[in-house]
């Protein structure tokens, strides 16, 4: 049997989190079972939404996606509530613990996709060309490009900035022509796309933590022998950790590099982060409660899980 | 086509003047174009505008070529029917999802006009159905072309 | 089976897009799970679901509006003033009118039909043979998509992420002009019948009028291409500005487009771009199947084990595209081959922009090579001299163009100097 593994990141394993995860998954599964693993990196089979659809149809068996998951399984969007995780290690504990397991089960029932493990795309941070941002008050009056996703619009509004939804491909233009003053993205994305050359200031506020979902078509998973299932599940957990590590490496390196190239980077204190959270969370939570309907219980379950992890 | 042009033009003007563009400014013209392409597919078939490979057929005597083309029309008609089925199955499977850029506008339209049906604007299925409709129109166009050719055989005795 | 359907379909004159769709429907409809008929529509829809792709219908529309507004006559008058007096003047006007036309239109076929209608009868009147006139028209019209704006360039940039449209646009300018110069030298050396129109005393007034008449249309490429190059607008937005400008000229300045003609113009543009877009849609569905079955990976492995140097690779690529150009329409050829060849080219250390222009130039030569040369079809449709005579007449031009292609291939500076100089 063949497992087709697809994602939209580059294939190269030293700099690409999903690329690295896919490679180690392939090595483990092929080494320990008779299964064949074929990798389709760099969006060869389609974008994330399409990959999710393909996995639901068992056309592509394993997909590594981030944002697309919450479209198929809306409860997963609670992870996007800003300033939920104070650090990546907290996120790992929550996702690898009871909460992550329960969310995975819920999404399995809803989509037919089994979450084998979580990787990470990283924390998103604000950059701008006008002034250093230490508190929400510093965001007043600044225009920020956001993804055309309502949750991000609500978040920036809550913080006092002016959200401007612009497509990713338009972003460099919009920054250099001054259509917007700032933007928000993970450090790796900022550095790899040269956005630090267009922006003077970055605040490592880590407003949204983006997880990667390593998903397998449950129809396919059930067709495997118990021994194969065990190897596949273990390989995916190793792959998720590999992806997290590569992501952490890239972020740490990126923070140093953007500074070396002239960007001013500010790391807010815990009190300052709390001030950001106080402004941003209520708007987003209210919006999400309206969107999620009965799935809104996942907001509370997440907050409980984070609280007990933080203790 | 006019609508596609108008939306893109006005939306990019807005972006450069007001610094704001509407959320459906990219998605809607794409979907309208897909409908346009599927309409154009049938229209181009009727008018023999498609890019085809004519070297071999050019060597055939006229009468034989006409018969061959009539057969091609029938094959195209079948292709159109199969494509329509494929498009229908595609929509049934995936069409209930929301089109992200159109979601709020579609829901707003439905709320303000009170016409519940207008939420369909926000569903991708509405736009995915272009493939099915295009396939059906192609089948009709190819069939009409077939009839036209057959009757021209009779009109001009060989 | 799938190939049999494709080949029979193509041979019997089924439209290319439909032959591909039919083959896919049979393949996916009869294949085992996970294949299903539904996937054909899924992947076709995906192939068209792209904002940058919208530049294509918009540039087609801009081209049709330009044609309708009688701009061809103004361009010819302009070119006549500049090069008409030289030896082989009329042939030169034909070539350089295409260069100007190239700045307005992204399509060689539109150029062949607009300029051919005027020039083929006119050149015959001045003693040129009809096949020569038709061949020259077709041969020089391929300059159109090499000089920006260009539909093939937009498609290339869609296939290869990370290669920017502005860089490719800039890179096409020098090759397009080089091609015009080579063709010009060639006609000046070979044409004996036309000594130029120096007998007609050119007074300042018609010269001035012709130059002025050419100014407004010439502003469009400057404006449209300039705004893309400066990164102010995306190609799709620029294409919409081009349409707006062409409409403005036609309706308010030249006043030869009636408002009542607009619905016809829009629907013709939709039909003509549908012909291109449906091929893109069908081929992208076919590509998904090929990728899913790892055909590109196998081809890549094969080439990498058998081709060991950059020069061999480039020559093999040229031969491959010239060969494929005989049978496959240019856009389809690009969609199938570029995703496979581009990574290899990068592996051999070839500049992606250089490689892109080589591929596009190569495919444009395909437009004038029989049996499937679209420009040749259009020129033959106007000249009515028969494919055999036209094929003989096109041969020397074909050789000139291959010569230019070799020059571009082995002197990369001809292509990448300008984009480099502009900071890409
Ligand atoms: Na052009
Ligand atoms: Na010409």
Task: Look up residue B150 and give its two tokens.
Answer: 């057959």
Mean pLDDT of A130-152: 91
Whole-angstrom Cα distance, residue C162 to residue C157?
8
Residue B100 is predicted with a pLDDT of 66
pLDDT band at residue B96 under the 50/70/90 scheme: confident
Whole-angstrom Cα distance, residue A50 to residue A47?
5
Whole-angstrom Cα distance, residue C156 to residue C356?
7
pLDDT score of A78 more than 90:
yes
Whole-angstrom Cα distance, residue C224 to residue C104?
9
What pTM does this model have? 0.84
The reply to whether omega before C34 is within 30° of 0 (cis) is yes
Chain A residues near residue B15 by CB distance under 8 angstroms: 179
Q: Which of A37-46, A296-305, B62-71 has the lowest mean pLDDT?
A: B62-71
Total domains in chain C come to 1
**Domain boundary assignment for chain B:** 2-155
Name the residue range of residue C353's domain: 51-421
Residue C199 is predicted with a pLDDT of 44
Asked whether the beta carbons of residue B8 and residue C240 sit closer than 8 angstroms, the reply is: yes
| Per-residue pLDDT tens over the stretch C24-67 | 999 888 887 778 888 999 999 998 988 888 888 888 888 788 77
pLDDT score of A87 more than 90:
yes
Residue C280 is predicted with a pLDDT of 84
Q: Has residue C44 been placed in a domain?
A: no
pLDDT band at residue B158 under the 50/70/90 scheme: very low
Chain C residues near residue A167 by CB distance under 8 angstroms: 51
Q: Does C363 touch chain B (CB under 8 A)?
A: no
Mean pLDDT of A203-229: 96
Task: Look up residue C145 and give its two tokens.
Answer: 């998509």
Residue C240 is predicted with a pLDDT of 85
Q: Does C365 touch chain B (CB under 8 A)?
A: no
Find, in chain C, the residue whose alpha carbon is nearest to that of A49: C46
Residue B73 is predicted with a pLDDT of 92
Sign of CA dihedral C384, C389, C395, C396: negative
Q: Which of A74-88, B2-16, C105-119 has the lowest mean pLDDT?
A: B2-16
Mean pLDDT of C173-185: 95
Which has the higher per-residue pLDDT, A118 or A175? A118
Nearest residue, CB atoms, B26 vs list A143, A167, A179 = A167
From residue C244, how far is each of B31, B93, C75, C99 by CA, in Å? 21, 40, 20, 22
Chosen from C164, C228, C230, C294 to mutate, greatest number of chain A CBs within 10 A: C294
Q: Has residue C25 been placed in a domain?
A: no
Averaged confidence pLDDT in chain C = 84
Nearest residue, CB atoms, C240 vs list B12, B47, B57 = B12
Q: Has residue C36 been placed in a domain?
A: no
In this complex, which chains have at least 3 CB pairs below 8 Å with chain A? B, C
The reply to whether omega before A87 is within 30° of 0 (cis) is no
**A 133-192 residues with CB below 8 A of B?**
143, 148-150, 164-167, 179-180
Q: Has residue C12 been placed in a domain?
A: no
Whole-angstrom Cα distance, residue A259 to residue C103?
43
Task: Look up residue C97 and give its two tokens.
Answer: 């009118």
Chain C residues near residue B47 by CB distance under 8 angstroms: 271
pLDDT score of B139 more than 90:
yes
* Residue A20: closest CA among A189, A252, A241: A241
* Residue B102: closest CA among C287, A148, C157, C368: A148
Q: Does B105 touch chain C (CB under 8 A)?
A: no
Cα A80 to chain centroid, rounded? 8
Per DSSP, C67 falls in state: H
Cα A232 to chain centroid, rounded? 23
pLDDT band at residue A120 under the 50/70/90 scheme: very high
Q: Does C6 touch chain B (CB under 8 A)?
A: no
Nearest chain C Cα distance for residue A68, angstroms: 16
pLDDT band at residue C201 under the 50/70/90 scheme: very low
**3-class SS of residue C122:** helix
Residues C372, B55 contacting (CB under 8 angstroms): yes
Residues B101, B26 contacting (CB under 8 angstroms): yes
Q: Has residue C35 been placed in a domain?
A: no
Nearest residue, CB atoms, A165 vs list B23, B93, B94 = B23
Q: Has residue C120 been placed in a domain?
A: yes
Residue A117 is predicted with a pLDDT of 97
From residue B126, how far is each of B99, B129, C64, C339, C394 by CA, in Å? 10, 6, 30, 31, 49
Residues A61, A29 contacting (CB under 8 angstroms): no
What does the buried/exposed string (b/e) look like for A34-65 if buried means 16 or more CB atoms within 10 Å of the residue's CB? ebebbbbbbbbbbebbbbbbbbbbbbbbbbbb
Q: Does B43 touch chain C (CB under 8 A)?
A: yes
Q: Has residue C112 been placed in a domain?
A: yes
pLDDT score of B97 more than 90:
no
pLDDT score of B101 more than 90:
no
């Amino acid at each position: 049997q063949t497992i087709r593994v697809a994602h939209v990141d580059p294939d190269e394993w030293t700099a690409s989190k999903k690329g690295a995860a896919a490679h180690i998954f392939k090595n483990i599964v092929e080494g320990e079972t008779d299964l064949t693993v074929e990798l389709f990196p760099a969006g060869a089979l389609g974008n994330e939404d399409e990959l999710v659809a393909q996995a639901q149809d068992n056309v592509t068996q394993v997909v590594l996606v981030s944002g697309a998951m919450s479209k198929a399984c809306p409860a997963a969007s609670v992870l996007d509530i800003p300033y939920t995780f104070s650090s990546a290690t907290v996120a790992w504990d929550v996702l690898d613990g009871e909460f992550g397991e329960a969310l995975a089960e819920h999404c399995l029932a809803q989509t037919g996709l089994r979450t084998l493990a979580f990787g990470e795309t990283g924390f998103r941070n604000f950059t701008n060309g006008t002034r250093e941002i230490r508190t929400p008050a510093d965001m007043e009056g600044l225009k920020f490009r956001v993804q055309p996703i309502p949750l991000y619009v609500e978040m920036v509004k809550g913080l006092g900035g002016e959200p401007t939804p612009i497509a990713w491909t338009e972003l460099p233009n919009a920054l250099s022509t001054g259509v917007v003053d700032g933007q928000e993205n993970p450090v790796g994305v900022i550095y790899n796309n040269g956005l630090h050359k267009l922006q003077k200031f970055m605040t490592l506020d880590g407003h949204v933590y983006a997880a990667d979902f390593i998903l397998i078509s449950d129809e396919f998973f059930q067709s495997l022998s118990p021994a194969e299932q065990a190897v596949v599940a273990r390989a995916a957990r190793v792959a998720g950790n590999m992806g997290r590590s590569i992501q952490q490496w890239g972020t740490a390196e990126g923070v140093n590099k953007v500074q070396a190239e002239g960007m001013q980077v500010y790391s807010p204190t815990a009190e300052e982060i709390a001030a950001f959270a106080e402004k941003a969370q209520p708007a987003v939570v209210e919006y999400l409660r309206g969107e999620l309907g009965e799935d809104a219980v996942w907001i509370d379950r997440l907050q409980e899980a984070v609280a007990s992890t933080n203790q | 086509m006019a609508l596609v042009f108008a939306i893109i033009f006005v939306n990019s003007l807005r972006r450069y003047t007001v610094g704001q563009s509407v959320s459906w400014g990219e998605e809607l013209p794409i979907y309208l174009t897909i409908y346009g392409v599927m309409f154009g597919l049938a229209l181009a078939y009727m008018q023999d505008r498609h890019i085809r490979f004519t070297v071999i057929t050019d060597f055939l005597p006229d009468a034989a070529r006409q018969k061959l083309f009539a057969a091609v029309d029938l094959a195209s008609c079948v292709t159109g029917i199969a494509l329509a089925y494929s498009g229908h199955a595609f929509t049934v499977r995936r069409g209930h999802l929301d089109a992200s850029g159109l979601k709020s506008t579609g829901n707003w339209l439905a709320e303000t006009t009170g016409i519940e049906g207008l939420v369909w604007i926000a569903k991708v299925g509405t736009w995915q159905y272009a493939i099915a409709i295009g396939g059906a129109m192609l089948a009709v166009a190819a069939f009409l072309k077939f009839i036209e050719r057959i009757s021209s055989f009779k009109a001009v005795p060989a | 089976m799938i190939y049999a359907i494709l080949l029979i379909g193509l041979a019997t004159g089924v439209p290319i897009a439909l032959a591909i769709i039919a083959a896919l429907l049979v393949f996916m409809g009869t294949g085992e799970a996970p294949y299903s008929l539904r996937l054909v529509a899924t992947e076709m829809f995906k192939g068209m679901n792209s904002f940058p792709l919208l530049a294509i219908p918009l540039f087609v529309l801009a081209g049709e509006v330009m044609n309708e507004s009688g701009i061809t006559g103004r361009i010819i008058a302009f070119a006549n003033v500049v090069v008409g007096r030289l030896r082989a003047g009329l042939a030169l006007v034909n070539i350089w009118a295409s260069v100007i036309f190239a700045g307005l239109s992204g399509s060689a076929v539109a150029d062949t039909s607009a300029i051919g209608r005027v020039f083929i009868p006119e050149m015959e009147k001045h003693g040129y043979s009809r096949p020569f006139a038709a061949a020259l028209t077709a041969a020089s019209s391929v300059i159109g998509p090499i000089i920006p704006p260009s539909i093939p360039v937009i498609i290339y940039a869609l296939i290869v992420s990370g290669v920017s449209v502005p860089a490719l646009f800039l890179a096409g300018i020098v090759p397009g002009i080089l091609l015009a110069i080579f063709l010009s030298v060639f006609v000046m050396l070979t044409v004996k019948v036309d000594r130029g129109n120096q007998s007609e005393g050119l007074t300042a007034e018609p010269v001035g009028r012709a130059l002025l008449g050419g100014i407004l249309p010439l502003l469009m490429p400057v404006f449209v291409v300039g705004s893309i190059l400066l990164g102010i607008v995306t190609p799709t937005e620029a294409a919409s500005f081009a349409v707006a400008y062409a409409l403005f000229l036609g309706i308010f300045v030249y006043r030869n487009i009636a408002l009542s003609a607009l619905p016809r113009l829009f629907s013709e543009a939709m039909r003509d771009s549908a012909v291109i877009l449906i091929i893109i849609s069908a081929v992208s569905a076919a590509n998904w199947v090929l990728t899913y079955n790892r055909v590109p990976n196998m081809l890549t492995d094969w080439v990498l084990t058998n081709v060991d140097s950059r020069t061999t690779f480039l020559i093999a690529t040229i031969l491959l595209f010239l060969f494929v150009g005989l049978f496959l329409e240019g856009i389809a050829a690009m969609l199938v081959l570029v995703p496979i060849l581009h990574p290899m080219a990068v592996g051999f250390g070839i500049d992606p922009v250089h490689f892109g222009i080589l591929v596009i130039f190569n495919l444009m030569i395909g437009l004038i090579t029989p049996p499937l040369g679209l420009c040749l079809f259009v020129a033959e449709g106007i000249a009515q001299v028969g494919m055999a005579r036209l094929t003989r007449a096109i041969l020397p031009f074909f050789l000139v163009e291959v010569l230019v292609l070799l020059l571009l291939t082995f002197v990369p500076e001809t292509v990448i100097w300008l984009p480099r100089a502009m900071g890409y």
